[in-house]
Amino acid sequence: MLIGNRQEAFDFVVRHLFKQGERAVAEGGGCLYRGPDGTKCAVGCLIPDELYTPRLEGNSVFMLPQRVLDQLPAPSLLNELQIAHDDPTNWWNPTRLRYHLTVIAQHWALNTDALEEAYNNATW
């Protein structure tokens, strides 16, 4: 899967996060690109399976290998989405996560139609 631009990345990530309904975290609480039970973080859901390796864990999006970064648009946007994923208070209820993602969308002048759809379909 190759995401071509910021809007496509934002739409894919917000749909993923609201569908998943939880953070991708290790047993100790630290966030992961790929967590237990198939969970994926805001950036992890964009990393193709063939490029994922556990060695990516613990690195910010800016420190990922170039072969991975070449598959990801707008690392600064993805970093902001990662921060939203990593903040446990955003997972108290879908409204908190929606608010944080709306702020990011406004900062990047992104359309929020996919966000609103994902929020309205959230079951957690």
CB 47 within 8 A of CB 56: yes
In-domain check, residue 59: yes
Residue ranges making up the domain that contains 75 = 6-121
In-domain check, residue 64: yes
In 10 A of CB 119, how many CB atoms? Answer: 18
What is the model's pTM? 0.95
In-domain check, residue 105: yes
In-domain check, residue 76: yes
In-domain check, residue 1: no
Considering only CA atoms, give the Rg of the chain. 13
In-domain check, residue 54: yes
CB 87 within 8 A of CB 100: yes
In-domain check, residue 10: yes
Q: Name the pLDDT band for 2 (thresholds 50, 70, 90).
A: low
3: nearest Cα among 75, 101, 61, 65? 75
Q: What total of structural domains would you count in the chain?
A: 1
The residue-averaged pLDDT of 63-71 equals 95
Task: Round the average pLDDT of the chain to a whole number and report it.
Answer: 95
17-43 pLDDT, tens digit per residue, is 999 999 999 988 899 999 989 999 999
Please tell me the predicted confidence (pLDDT) of residue 35.
95
Given a cut of 90, is residue 3 above it in pLDDT? no
CB 44 within 8 A of CB 52: yes
Helix (H) or strand (E) holding 80: helix 75-86
